[in-house]
Chains A and B, each alone.
Chain A
Amino acid sequence: MIAVIDYKAGNLTSVVNALHYLDARDVVVTQSPDVVRGADKVVLPGVGHFQATQLLAELGLTEAVRQSIAKGAWFLGICVGLQWLFEGSTEAPGTPGLGAFAGICEHFPAKEIKQIDGKEIAVELKSPHVGWNSLEQIRPDSRLLRGVASGSFVYFTHSWRAPVVQATAAVTNYGGAFTSAVERKNVMGVQFHPEKSADVGLRVFKNFVEL
Chain B
Amino acid sequence: MLTKRIIACLDVRGGRVVKGVQFVDIIDAGDPAELAHRHAAEGADEVVLLDITATHEGRGTLLETVRRAAAKLFVPFTVGGGVRTADDAAAVFNAGADKVSINSAAIARPRLIGEIGASFGAQAVIVAIDARRGAKAPEDAEVYVSGGRKPTGLRVVEWAREAESRGAGEILLTSMDTDGMRDGFDCELTAAVSQAVQIPVIASGGAGSAAHFVEVFGRGRADAALAASIFHYGVTSSRELKAQLARAGVSVRLPC
Known contacts A131-B223, A153-B253, A198-B75: does B124 contact A126 (CB below 8 Å)?
no
Among residues of B, the one whose C-beta sits closest to the C-beta of A128 is B123
Q: What is the interface of chain A, defined by CB distance below 8 A to chain B? A: 9-11, 13-14, 17-18, 21, 47-49, 110, 124, 126-134, 153, 155-159, 173-174, 195-199, 201-202
Besides the contacts A10-B124, A131-B4, A197-B75, what 6 more A-B pairs have beta carbons closer than 8 Å? A9-B121, A14-B96, A17-B72, A47-B121, A47-B124, A126-B198
Expressed in whole angstroms, the Cα–Cα distance for A155 and B256 within the complex equals 12
Q: A143 CA to B46 CA in the complex, in Å?
A: 28
Residue contact B121 to A196, C-beta cutoff 8 Å? no
Q: Mark B87-108, 1 if CB is under 8 A from A, else 0.
A: 0000001111110000000000
Asked, given contacts A130-B200, A196-B75, whether A49 binds B45 with beta carbons under 8 Å apart, the answer is no
- Would B1 and A131 count as touching, CB distance under 8 A? no
In the assembly, what is the distance between CA of A185 and CA of B223, in Å? Answer: 37
Check B165 for interface membership: any CB of A closer than 8 A: no
CA distance A127 to B2 in the complex (A): 12
Name the contact of A132 in the complex, choosing from B2, B98, B123 (C-beta under 8 A).
Answer: B2
**A-B pairs with lowest CB-CB distance, top 3:** A48-B121, A47-B121, A132-B253
Interface residues of B (CB under 8 A from A): 1-5, 40, 45, 70-72, 74-76, 93-98, 120-124, 169-170, 198-200, 223-224, 253, 256
Separation of A170 and B92 alpha carbons in the complex (Å):
33
Bound-complex Cα distance A127 to B167 (A): 12
Cβ of B76 and Cβ of A196 under 8 Å apart?
A: yes
A-B contact count (CB 8 A): 100
CB proximity of A163 to chain B, nearest CB, Å: 19
Q: How far is the CB of B73 from chain A (nearest CB, A)?
A: 8
Q: Which of A21, A47, A126, A196 is within 8 Å of B120, CB to CB?
A: A47
Inter-chain CA distance A202–B74, complex, in Å, is: 8
- Of residues B74, B120, B170, B224, which shows the largest number of chain A Cβ atoms within 10 Å of its Cβ? B74
B74 in contact with A129 (CB, 8 Å): no
Q: Please state if B121 and A10 are interface contacts (CB–CB under 8 Å).
A: yes
CB distance from A108 to the nearest CB of B (A): 10
Once the chains bind, are B199 and A132 in contact (CB under 8 Å)?
Answer: no
Q: Which residue of A lies closest to B95 (CB)?
A: A13
Q: CA of A13 to CA of B74 in the docked complex: distance in angstroms? A: 11
A133 touches B74 (CB 8 A): no
Query: What's the nearest-Cβ distance from chain A to residue B114, in Å?
Result: 12
Q: When the two chains form their complex, are residues A13 and B96 in contact, meaning their CB atoms are under 8 A apart? A: yes
Task: Contact check, A49 vs B76: say whether CB atoms are below 8 A apart.
Answer: no
Is there contact, CB below 8 Å, between A131 and B74? Answer: no
Name A156's closest neighbour in chain B (CB-CB). Answer: B2
- Contact check, B3 vs A133: say whether CB atoms are below 8 A apart: yes
For residue B128, give the distance in angstroms from its CB to the closest CB of chain A.
16
By a CB distance below 8 angstroms, the chain A residues around B256 are 153, 198
- Interfacial chain B residues near A21, Cβ < 8 Å: 71-72, 74
Q: How far is the CB of A65 from chain B (nearest CB, A)?
A: 22
Complex contacts, B199 vs chain A, CB 8 Å: 126-128
The answer for the CA separation of A10 and B121 in the assembled complex, in Å, is 7
Q: Which residue of chain B has its CB nearest to the CB of A80? A: B121
Q: How far is the CA of A157 from the CA of B170 in the complex (A)?
A: 11
Smallest CB-CB separation from A20: which chain B residue? B71
Once bound together, how far apart are the Cα atoms of A159 and B122, in whole Å? 10
Nearest CB of B to A111, in Å: 10
Bound CA–CA A21/B96 (angstroms): 14
- In the assembled complex, the Cα of A10 lies from the Cα of B5 at a distance in Å of 23
A133–B94 touching, CB < 8 Å: no
